[in-house]
């Protein structure tokens, strides 16, 4: 069963960066709300619950440090990733002291931010282990590492099984090629791509138009089970 998308609040007074980040994360399947500054973000935080906050430091009226300090007075757990054009160690330390979970210096690549978000969410979101996932009638059991079509066992190579298990354990979230290569016997990004192609032939209704094992541009892949 597919989990609900994580709700992310992006706070940045730079219209271009805020819109780019919102669109990029939305395309990855996240539910994204954007705020153009600390004042607007404060109001949103009073009305909505977020799974993670991407917070710029340098903002007028209420800067990121002030907003983070305000947030941590009542909310000790919602993860926060700080964005700043300032890369000084003192600023990073200040953010971490106030309760930030991670820090990314501008200019940054959206792909790196997405990977950091996925990593933080994996650390803080505690969920019941998924035992099975369903994909267009096929069922993959993570414990037994078996893919079945009804009562019929679908044959997978060891590499395909490892790959599918990692993707299933992170269902709905992007997983980098590097992480897939390191976690399987593929050993190289290119080998991951080859095994993904073979895996799609066994899982996808139309391997040329995959709906379950999706390519995440510039990052890697994401497994989307049936809802």
CATH topology of domain 132-223: Arc Repressor Mutant, subunit A (1.10.10)
Domain 7-124 -> CATH class: alpha beta
Question: Average pLDDT for residues 140-163, to the nearest whole number?
Answer: 93
Cis peptide before 77 (omega within 30 of 0): no
Domains of the chain, residue spans: 7-124, 132-223
pLDDT of residue 85: 77
Q: Tell me: the pLDDT tens digits for 176-220?
A: 888 898 877 666 667 889 999 999 999 999 999 999 999 998 889
- Spatial neighbors of 193 by CB under 8 A, at least 6 apart, are 177
Global pTM exceeds 0.75: no
Position 172 confidence tier, pLDDT thresholds 50, 70, 90: confident
pLDDT of residue 189: 62
| CA 51 to each of CA 96, 139, 191: distance values in angstroms, whole numbers, following the listed order | 18, 29, 34
Q: Is the separation of the CB atoms in 135 and 227 below 8 Å?
A: no
Q: Tell me: the pLDDT tens digits for 93-138?
A: 888 889 999 999 888 999 999 999 999 998 876 656 678 999 999 9
CA dihedral defined by 199, 201, 204, 210, rounded to 10 degrees? 80
Q: Tell me: the pLDDT tens digits for 48-88?
A: 999 999 999 989 999 999 999 999 998 989 999 999 876 66
CA dihedral defined by 154, 159, 164, 170, rounded to 10 degrees? 160
pLDDT of residue 1: 46
């Amino acid at each position: 069963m597919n989990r609900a998308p994580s709700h992310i609040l992006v706070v940045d007074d730079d219209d271009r960066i805020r819109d780019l980040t919102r669109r990029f994360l939305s395309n990855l399947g996240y539910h994204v709300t954007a705020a153009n500054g600390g004042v607007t973000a404060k109001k949103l935080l009073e009305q909505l619950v977020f799974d993670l906050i991407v917070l710029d430091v340098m903002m007028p009226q209420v800067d990121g440090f002030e907003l983070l300090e305000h947030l941590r007075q009542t909310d000790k757990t919602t993860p926060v990733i700080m964005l700043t054009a300032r890369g000084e160690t003192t600023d990073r330390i200040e953010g971490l002291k106030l309760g930030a979970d991670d820090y990314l210096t501008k200019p940054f690549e959206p792909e790196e931010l997405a990977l950091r978000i996925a990593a933080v969410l994996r650390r803080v979101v505690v969920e019941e282990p998924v035992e099975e996932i369903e994909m267009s009638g096929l069922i993959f059991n993570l414990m037994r590492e078996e893919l079945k079509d009804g009562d019929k066992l679908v044959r997978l190579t060891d590499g395909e099984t490892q790959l599918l298990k990692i993707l299933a354990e992170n269902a709905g979230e992007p997983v980098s090629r590097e992480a897939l290569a390191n976690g399987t016997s593929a050993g190289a990004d290119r080998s991951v791509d080859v095994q993904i192609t073979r895996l799609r032939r066994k899982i996808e209704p139309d391997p040329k138009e995959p709906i379950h094992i999706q390519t995440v541009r510039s990052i890697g892949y994401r497994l989307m089970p049936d809802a």
